[in-house]
Amino acid sequence: MDLVNRFLRYVRIDTQSAEDAGVTPSTPGQMEFVQMLRGELEAMGLEEITLDEHGYLFATLPANTTRTVPTIGFIAHVDTSPDVTGKDVKPRIVEKYNGTDIVLSAEDHTVLSTEEFPELLRYVGDDLIVTDGHTLLGADDKAGVAEIVSAIAYLQAHPEIEHGKIRIGFNPDEEIGLGAHKFDVKLFGCDWAYTMDGGEVGELEYENFNAASARITINGRNVHPGYAKDKMLNSMRVAAEFIGMLPKNEVPECTDGYQGFFHLVGMKGGVEQTTLSYIIRDHSAEIFTKRKDMMQACVQELNNKYGAGTAAIELTTQYANMREVIEPMMYVIDIACQAMREAGVTPKIKPIRGGTDGAQLSFMGLPCPNIFAGGVNFHSRFEFVPVQSMQKAMMTIVKIAELVAKR
Ligand SMILES: [Zn+2]
């Protein structure tokens, strides 16, 4: 099976990305991997193959129809998470999974148990690719890479399936948030694309958070505590007051789905000065604006109460919900849903509680929702991917290509 063999070959290459490397790609392993991939794409006879110095690898499967069809793309990232090592990945296939616990490593008692990971039970009867308990698997996102390459091979082997020009793109450093910034959208040249980087089978995402960070600086007035009456202003106590002014339940630990939040990510203080670092998240652009307004109003209130200059806020926009880019072209989502159904998959549309490369790309001019790659327990030694999920993702790509040509 080409798909599985590709995947097993890909995960053996260590492509873990690294924070703060200051270069793209952040690690040499990623470049090694895309160079190997380039060789593979050349051997398949793909066209317009480019690999730039930052590790972005693009290629084309030319159209096999003379009709005018939009050019679409499929994208996956080649790096794995900095959280868990991706060196010496030794994947193992558990055939026809029977619903019991899977011992990953007997020597260190690492067990993929159904009690801790009940999602396992959704895959009884499937063939699961698991780790040896010492590394992550790298299905995030080498499952996506293998699915894209295999789908292209499938289309080449089935010339009776009519399709337009298909572009494929592999990028580095997604896991450190730097996958999109050097992506040459113009060179890629697609009407739209899909990242194959979602989790479980059926997942389809085109909504992510609107995101900003806020830094609140509170200035106090220090006086010898013995003589402080009516003079001292303790900035830490004012900061505590500020924290108390925001809605108590609108925090990450109390929210899910479409609920946004204020998240206090850092505080540093003394009597003289305290700084609070927040991130603000919401899917709704309107509520997102209200959240920022609310923070500013709280700062104003403290200034009214304790004197001008007591509190200041600095807001920085981080990223925006790609929904506003996708919504005027909902056929992009409809096609993906129909393709999934034709591949035997029930689409599960859900909002992303974070950002994606696709969101950045969407605002760079390449509308780019995210489709499942099939893996479970990303960034973990307990990561696994059912072979059948990968096959469904691969067929989803094939069906999308087919449906786009039929429009
Ligand atoms: Zn990923």
Residue 113 CA to ligand 1 centre (angstroms): 24
Catalytic, out of 14, 126, 140, 174 = 174
* Active-site pick, 79, 141, 197, 250: 79
Which residues are within 5 Å of ligand 1 (an ion), measured at CB?
Answer: 140-141, 197
Q: How far is the CA of 112 from the centre of ligand 1 (A)?
A: 21
407 residues of the chain, pLDDT tens digit each: 699 999 999 999 999 999 989 999 999 999 999 999 999 999 999 999 999 999 999 999 999 999 999 999 999 999 999 999 999 999 999 999 999 999 999 999 999 999 999 999 999 999 999 999 999 999 999 999 999 999 999 999 999 999 999 999 999 999 998 999 999 999 999 999 999 999 999 999 999 999 999 999 999 999 999 999 999 999 999 999 999 999 999 999 999 999 999 999 999 999 999 999 999 999 999 999 999 999 999 999 999 999 999 999 999 998 999 999 999 999 999 999 999 999 999 999 999 998 888 999 999 999 999 999 999 999 999 999 999 999 999 999 999 999 999 98
Q: 225-276: per-residue pLDDT in tens? A: 999 999 999 999 999 999 999 999 999 999 999 999 999 999 999 999 999 9
As a whole number of angstroms, the distance between CA 148 and CA 38 comes to 13
| C-alpha 142 to ligand 1 mean position (Å) | 9
101 is catalytic: no
Please tell me the distance between residue 143's alpha carbon and the centre of ligand 1 in angstroms. Answer: 10
Query: For position 95, what pLDDT does the model report?
Result: 98
Measured from the Cβ of residue 46, the count of other Cβ atoms closer than 10 Å reads 21
Amino acid 266: pLDDT: 95
Question: Using one digit for the tens of pLDDT, what is the confidence trace for 125-172?
Answer: 999 999 999 999 999 999 999 999 999 999 999 999 999 999 999 999
Query: Quick check: is 53 catalytic?
Result: no
pTM of the model: 0.89
For residues 60 and 71, give the distance between their C-alpha atoms in angstroms, rounded to a whole number: 10
**How much distance in Å is there from the Cα of 373 to the middle of ligand 1?**
9
Residue with tokens 């996506």: 144
The DSSP-derived string for 100-112 is: S-EEEETTTTEEE
Runs of H (alpha helix) within 260-407: 285-306, 323-326, 331-342, 357-363, 387-406
How many CA atoms does the CB half-sphere of 55 hold within 13 Å? 27
Q: What is the Å distance from ligand 1's center to 288 Cα? A: 26
Q: Rounded to the nearest whole angstrom, what is the distance from the C-alpha of residue 367 to the centroid of ligand 1?
A: 18
For residue 9, the tally of other CB atoms under 10 A from its CB is: 13
Q: Are 75 and 195 in contact (CB under 8 A)?
A: yes
The pLDDT value given to residue 357: 87
